[in-house]
Structure 1
């Protein structure tokens, strides 16, 4: 059977003629059928021969198919197409399992919808509302259904729509890194109670700026930390105005919580404008964060309130305070807007607890942004304000990298 001649085809280390290969095929019904099963070496040789013939014919797609699916199938003698069908089915099952796992993970990551808390549950969490309030009296810090919660009491808006699950779902569907998550609400008589998820180690901005027990202490000891808070608040307000299509209505240091690590700020009271009375409901001029004749909550009123808050953040002073005048021997009401607009050296106006460790040019630009926000005319929108504050934040970070004290020293010791 082993002979050579013209028209020989090389397979492995053997040379076979086409006629001899035809003679080697077993006849049907003969006892040579068991020996016809190719060995692994011959199968590999046949595969290599098939690849060369297909490549010589110029069929690149067939070559790729043979290269990918040659060899025995799952039963030991299957074809390449059978293996491809098995691989495709396995890949489809794997993709389906991966898709189900991704969908389950995404569903688990979504926050629970806001709920209507019963009044009895809020009373039990706050010792019948007799517990001491945190954040300078801004909220009760309690635990509701296993979550660290800030419970805020606000006056209800006269004639406001009833607080139901549909209204809460509309308000609570927005989730942003600069907004505190609304857990639920409870209307009780003339007051409204809003429950927000409190980040770990959180305190209000008012408590971070001023400590009644120690006036010289502040949690925001660096310039960059204060610009970081300002940038977070601007991003939250921009999200409320142009992505949530709503207004905040109660921008103040008591509505901003600052948490570790990183001293990042979040806006609470989001959604209060839907149910609660305006911040200046007690009378015109009672709230320093409300412009004269502001009336109903609006985007312009939010921008004005942020301008006052930014000046308070830079100076460390209350927005309105009484100061003793030695000339008249009387106490006069002074606002942070008046002292900032009076001009003078910004270095002497910025919070002295920062020392001289801040870029003067950046501080001047932030004061200009705040005064424009609090102006009576040509008040900007929050997109413009967020852009300006973010630019100052980036410049402040670069300034911090330049002036920081090096932590690595190299010392070389050598004989004189």
Structure 2
């Protein structure tokens, strides 16, 4: 009987002790102090706790963690409010204000974090059983929640959306923001990015196109979710299942400080966490994992191992991400330098090119002239041919003369363009007059020293900026057509990459379509001019060019609404007479305007631009953007369904025509434009016309109209 009584009262004793040292919610004007260990919010089931957590010597962050440690004294942190601004261990607190705002103050003075919320009714802060810290008003409305601003961890039932990202911690013991991010990219794909000294996307494998990695770019909802059973799904078709899939298991999806994202599981609260899934099976494929000037290797039963290159030493033994520093000094004496062979080592992410069967000479640095001079090299001599010897010597003389001319021109270029970036900054009034922006950079309006009005495109510092700059300069410099944008110059100083174009008074076609300024005649003329510009690129210029990103944003309009095809950052040269280009390493273009060939890995031809042009025509006619669905259907499908519903051509046109035209249009031109558009957006690329055929069809209709 005595035993029964003891067993009966044990839960009551435990509950009393538990409830006396925890707080279930904050309400009114109340606070949690860093100086009181008992000032902790606890979820109703006791699984999660929230309070100030020590992150260093006299440094604290407000965090959420699993109440049960995974080992003695070690807590599993799932969220932090002020991870990059820890507070003092004295007089710091989290306060709930009567205004409805929650703030964290450092030593009672400086506010380091806030929910930035306001409420006219009373509010309270509580910790949900799923680990979500929620600020709610008396009417039940959620003003703020921690699930909307994750740090490095995703909990079951917590969404990851296009406006969120997971950011790794700095190192094993440093909880501040690190170099790695999990986020939805602009192409709707969930990616891992290294944001250290360089910016590199490393997962999914950058050498694969999205569809090769089983990812889809067509779902713009950009949402990912981990359920309580261990199943993860993302809107880009990426899914995985935990190795211990099932109920009664605690789970966290965490972006670790080493750049790998892992799913951790444990069955019982006091157990250690085990990895039940991870994104990268080869840790050395994670960019920046060992820092600069280092070698990453994988050792079985140990894992990743970092070491320094010969001649370098580790910068900080507690943090490999800082890499290694050189142990040698570069001097201005004539020290020979050469290549050191490293067996079984790959410069992942740094390949400039592959050169088979090449011999490279040894160079030395003459610091007085800052010119790399080449030493004489001895090769095995073959039997000489007198004629060949003469030809070689003649070529050397001609080459020397050419090099001299190039050197003089280069010196002139340096002398006349020394401060071009500063001049352009002055011309644009400190890059303050923004007139447009895109994924590659921002465009500013400026006045040059000769009073010409220019559009200055300032490329982003992202990793693709240099490639886009080189493509733009090398392509436009060879083109000359009235329907192609005119480039006046460029700047390449240090990290600055600037392109200078003639200013277009009426902006882009996209801007004009959103207004009421484009009548039917202007739209038809723009369609003809754009077709002429693309036909020149595809068939008439010295080096044929695929634009790869034809859309209204890249069609500019001058003072007379004359169209100019612009933005050649994604363009690609096509050998004259070639039918296809197989050199594309990734999908190019903009969602809604891209041809099916990109998705289905078919040969890329000039017909991809034809398809994009057809989508532009449909947008000019209907006013509907192809990037957005209409009645849950793509624009092409919507147009064809309207055609089936209509009994005659005129009624079909009335159902589709842009309302901004107010019924004012030429019926004959409208019909031919529709016909051309539908031919251009045919699924089968062989059924599409060439751009020169498009020009002929449009001009034929225009001539017929004039005769009538």
Smaller-chain TM-score range? 0.5 to 0.7
2:499 to 194, 201, 205: 194
C-alpha RMSD of matched pairs (Å): 3.8
Task: Confirm or deny that 1:228 pairs with 2:525.
Answer: yes
> Aligned equivalents of 2:596 and 2:495: distance in 1?
26
Q: Considering only CA atoms, is the larger Rg found in Structure 1 or Structure 2?
A: 1
The DSSP-based 3-state class of the residue aligned with 1:246 is strand
Once the two structures are TM-superposed, the CA of residue 256 in structure 1 deviates from its matched residue by 1.1
1:191–1:381 distance in 2 versus 1, CA, 3 Å: farther
1:284–1:264 distance in 2 versus 1, CA, 3 Å: closer
The DSSP-based 3-state class of the residue aligned with 1:196 is strand
Deviations 1:127-178 (A, max 9, x none): 44443324899732222343222233556648849849xx947632422111
Once the two structures are TM-superposed, the CA of residue 234 in structure 1 deviates from its matched residue by 0.4
- Structure 1 segment 388-399 matched on structure 2, within 5 A: 388-396=697-705
1:306–1:191 distance in 2 versus 1, CA, 3 Å: farther
Once the two structures are TM-superposed, the CA of residue 353 in structure 1 deviates from its matched residue by 2.4
Deviations 1:227-286 (A, max 9, x none): 10100000011111112222222211111112233x2212122465259xxxx9997895
Map of 2:444 onto structure 1: 140
Map of 1:387 onto structure 2: 696
> Aligned equivalents of 1:116 and 1:253: distance in 2?
36
1:188–1:230 distance in 2 versus 1, CA, 3 Å: farther
> Aligned equivalents of 1:142 and 1:232: distance in 2?
26
Task: Confirm or deny that 1:268 pairs with 2:577.
Answer: no
Native 8 Å contact 1:178 1:236 kept in 2: yes
Native 8 Å contact 1:152 1:195 kept in 2: yes
The DSSP-based 3-state class of the residue aligned with 2:499 is strand
Higher share in helix? 1
Native 8 Å contact 2:623 2:658 kept in 1: yes
> Aligned equivalents of 1:298 and 1:271: distance in 2?
18
Task: Confirm or deny that 1:353 pairs with 2:660.
Answer: yes
> Aligned equivalents of 2:620 and 2:419: distance in 1?
35
Native 8 Å contact 1:178 1:235 kept in 2: yes
> Aligned equivalents of 1:239 and 1:317: distance in 2?
28
> Aligned equivalents of 2:621 and 2:474: distance in 1?
36
Native 8 Å contact 2:510 2:552 kept in 1: yes
- Structure 1 segment 280-291 matched on structure 2, within 5 A: 287-291=591-595
Map of 2:674 onto structure 1: 367
> Aligned equivalents of 2:604 and 2:442: distance in 1?
20
> Aligned equivalents of 1:154 and 1:380: distance in 2?
34
1:123 to 425, 445, 452: 425
The DSSP-based 3-state class of the residue aligned with 1:141 is strand
Higher share in strand? 2
Once the two structures are TM-superposed, the CA of residue 307 in structure 1 deviates from its matched residue by 0.6
> Aligned equivalents of 1:388 and 1:271: distance in 2?
29
> Aligned equivalents of 1:180 and 1:298: distance in 2?
22
Relative contact order, higher structure (CA 8 A, sep 6+): 1
> Aligned equivalents of 1:340 and 1:302: distance in 2?
20
TM-score (norm 1): 0.53
Native 8 Å contact 1:151 1:195 kept in 2: yes
> Aligned equivalents of 1:265 and 1:309: distance in 2?
13
Map of 1:240 onto structure 2: 537
The DSSP-based 3-state class of the residue aligned with 2:571 is helix
Deviations 1:42-65 (A, max 9, x none): xxxxxxxxxxxxxxxxxxxxxxxx
The DSSP-based 3-state class of the residue aligned with 2:488 is strand
Once the two structures are TM-superposed, the CA of residue 356 in structure 1 deviates from its matched residue by 2.9
> Aligned equivalents of 1:188 and 1:322: distance in 2?
43
The DSSP-based 3-state class of the residue aligned with 1:266 is strand
Task: Confirm or deny that 1:178 pairs with 2:483.
Answer: yes
Map of 2:252 onto structure 1: none
1:187–1:292 distance in 2 versus 1, CA, 3 Å: farther
Deviations 1:330-386 (A, max 9, x none): xx4x43222222213112211122233323343222212112211121222111111
> Aligned equivalents of 2:588 and 2:609: distance in 1?
16
Once the two structures are TM-superposed, the CA of residue 118 in structure 1 deviates from its matched residue by 4.0
- Structure 1 segment 147-162 matched on structure 2, within 5 A: 147-153=452-458, 157=464, 160=467
1:204–1:311 distance in 2 versus 1, CA, 3 Å: same
Map of 2:32 onto structure 1: none
> Aligned equivalents of 1:128 and 1:297: distance in 2?
41
- Structure 1 segment 1-400 matched on structure 2, within 5 A: 118-134=420-436, 139-145=443-449, 146-153=451-458, 157=464, 160=467, 163=470, 168=473, 171-186=476-491, 193-199=498-504, 201-211=505-515, 218-221=516-519, 223-244=520-541, 245-261=544-560, 263-270=561-568, 273=571, 287-294=591-598, 298-321=605-628, 332=632, 334-342=633-641, 343=643, 344=646, 345-377=652-684, 378=686, 379-396=688-705
Once the two structures are TM-superposed, the CA of residue 288 in structure 1 deviates from its matched residue by 1.4
- Structure 1, unaligned stretches of length 5 or more? 1-114, 212-217, 326-331, 400-416
- Structure 2, unaligned stretches of length 5 or more? 1-416, 574-583, 647-651
> Aligned equivalents of 1:305 and 1:205: distance in 2?
14
The DSSP-based 3-state class of the residue aligned with 1:183 is strand
